[in-house]
Amino acid sequence: MKTLIRNIKIFDGEQLLDSEHAVLVEGERIVAIMPSASAPPAASGMTVLEGNGRTLMPGMVEAHSHLTWGSSVEKIYHQFILPADELKVAAWRNARVLLDHGFTSAYSAGALGDGIEVELARAIEAGETPGPRLIPSTLERSPEGAEGVETGDVFNGRGPEAIRKFVSYCKDQGIGSIKLVVSGEDALKPGSAKEVLYTDEEMEAAGQAAREAGLWIATHAYYPKAIELALKAGARIIYHASYADEAAADAMIAAKDATFYAPSPGVSIAALEATPPPHIDMSHMKTSAAERMELEAKLVPALKARGMRILIGGDYGFPFNPIGRNARDLQIFVDHFGYSPTEALHAATALGGELMGLDVGRVKQGWLADLLLIDGDPTQDVSILQDKARIAMIMKGGALHKVPSA
C-alpha cells in the first residue's frame, strides 16, 4: 500500500523546508521526500492525498501523559478516582481523544490503575482501539499517604529490596516506564514539595534494578535533593524541577545526554485560570502554580540555552485541564519560556521522538509515517494546533486515522 501526499509545505521536526514537496509512504514508513515537481504520477494501488499548500509535520509527542486521569474535552469528571469499569472507559476514550488532537505518541507519567495502561497499549498496538503509541506505566509509586491524597501506592513496602521487587513486578507486567514520586506536591498538600519521599538507598536500588530489567524511570521531583536522587537513579525524564538551584541545574546539564526534562506548565496555567465553584478551594493550588511559573520562566530558558532536551506535557486530565488541550503547551512555551514557534514544534516532535526511543517525530526517509497535515503554518503560529479542525489529516504508521478533505 502506497500513499502519496503532494503539494505540501513540510516542517520536518527541525525546520520548515523551502518550496513545496511531496512525501511517499509505503506500508508504515516514509520511503521518499521530493520536490513537488518530482512527485511520481498516480498509479494503480496508490492513494493520492492533495495537500493544497497545507503544512505536513510529524505527529506530536505527549511526554507527560496521564490517560487514566479521567477528564477530557469530551467528558469531565468531578472526582479524581473512578470505579474500575469507568476508569477503563475513560482511559480508552482519552487515548482516542489524544490521537484526535494530533498526538501520535505518548509517554506515560503514571496511571491510576494497576495494569490498565499495559492493556491499553496492547489494544492500541493490535488495532483494537485508536490511540497514540504508548509507553505504559503503572500506579505512581509513592509512600502511602505522603501527599495527603491516595494517588499512588507502595508496592511491596519500603527499602531497597522492596524497590527491587517492585521493578521485577513491573517487568513481568509489561510496563515500559516506572513512575516514582520523589517529591511531594504542594498543589495537593501545601509545603510537601520540599519533602523527599525516598531514601538514597531506595533510589539507587531503583536505578540499578531498572537498568538490569531494561526499564525506564520517570520522576516527579521539585527540589534539589529530589532532583539529585532522580539523576542518581538514571531517570529517563524529570518532571517539574521548579525549585532547582544552580547545583541541581548543573547536574541536570551533566546528564543531558541521558535525561529529558518536562516542566509541565499546562496544569499551572490551567490552575491559575480556573474559576471553581464556591465550595471548591483552589487557593493553595493557584499560589503554588504562580510560584512555579515564575521560577520556570527563568529555569527553562537557562537550561535550554545549555542544551537540555526540554519537552512539552502538562499533567492533562484534571477537570480544569482536560485531555485534548495538550497542544496548548506549545503556546505556553512561546509565551512564558521565550521559545520561537519552530523551537516549540521541535520540542513537541523531534525531541519527543527521542524520548520515545522510536523513529518518530521527524518527516524523514525511513522513519515511521506518523504525520499531520495542518491547515496553516504552525511555524508562524503554534496556536492553530489547538484547533483540531485545523488538523486536516492524522496518519499513524501509514494508516489514516483522519482523512483530509479534498
* pLDDT digit string, tens, across residues 75-99: 999 988 899 999 999 999 999 999 9
Predicted local confidence at residue 44, as pLDDT: 81
**In the beta sheet, which residues pair with residue 60?**
103
Instruction: Kindly report, residue by residue over 220-266, the tens digit of the pLDDT.
Output: 999 999 999 999 999 999 999 999 999 999 999 999 999 999 999 99
Question: DSSP strand E in 151-227: where?
Answer: 152-153, 177-181, 216-221
Grid cell digits, residue 218 = 520517570
- Tell me phi and psi for residue 36, to 5 degrees: -55, -35
DSSP-derived 3-state class of residue 217: strand
Given a contact cutoff of 8 angstroms between Cβ atoms, the answer to whether 274 and 320 are in contact is yes
Given a contact cutoff of 8 angstroms between Cβ atoms, the answer to whether 314 and 69 are in contact is no
Model confidence at 157, in pLDDT bands (50, 70, 90)?
Answer: confident
Percent of the chain at pLDDT above 70? 96
pTM here is 0.95
- How many other CB atoms are there within 10 angstroms of residue 176's CB atom? 22
Predicted local confidence at residue 151, as pLDDT: 44
For each of the domains in the chain, give its residue range(s) and CATH number, in order of start. Answer: 2-58+362-402 (2.30.40.10), 60-326 (3.20.20.140)
Model confidence at 145, in pLDDT bands (50, 70, 90)?
Answer: very low
Cβ within 8 Å of residue 59, ≥6 positions away: 102, 103, 104, 105, 132, 349, 360, 361, 370, 371, 372, 394, 395, 396
Question: DSSP strand E in 27-181: where?
Answer: 29-35, 46-50, 55-58, 60-65, 103-108, 133-135, 140-141, 152-153, 177-181
pLDDT of 8 over the 70 cut: yes
Strand order in the sheet with 133-135: 60-65, 103-108, 133-135
Q: How far is CA 176 from the centre of its chain?
A: 14
Predicted local confidence at residue 406, as pLDDT: 67
Predicted local confidence at residue 148, as pLDDT: 45
Predicted local confidence at residue 81, as pLDDT: 87
pLDDT of 362 over the 60 cut: yes
pLDDT of 142 over the 90 cut: no
Grid cell digits, residue 5 = 501526499
Predicted local confidence at residue 146, as pLDDT: 44
Given a contact cutoff of 8 angstroms between Cβ atoms, the answer to whether 303 and 261 are in contact is yes
- Tell me phi and psi for residue 201, to 5 degrees: -65, -40
Predicted local confidence at residue 195, as pLDDT: 87
| Mean pLDDT of the 89-114 span | 97
Grid cell digits, residue 55 = 503544512
Q: Pick from 397, 360, 363: which is nearest to 379 by CA? A: 363
Question: How far, in Å, CA of 207 to CA of 204, rounded?
Answer: 5
Question: How far, in Å, CA of 114 to CA of 178, rounded?
Answer: 12
Grid cell digits, residue 188 = 495537593
- Mean pLDDT rounded to a whole number for the chain: 93
Place of cell 536500588: 205
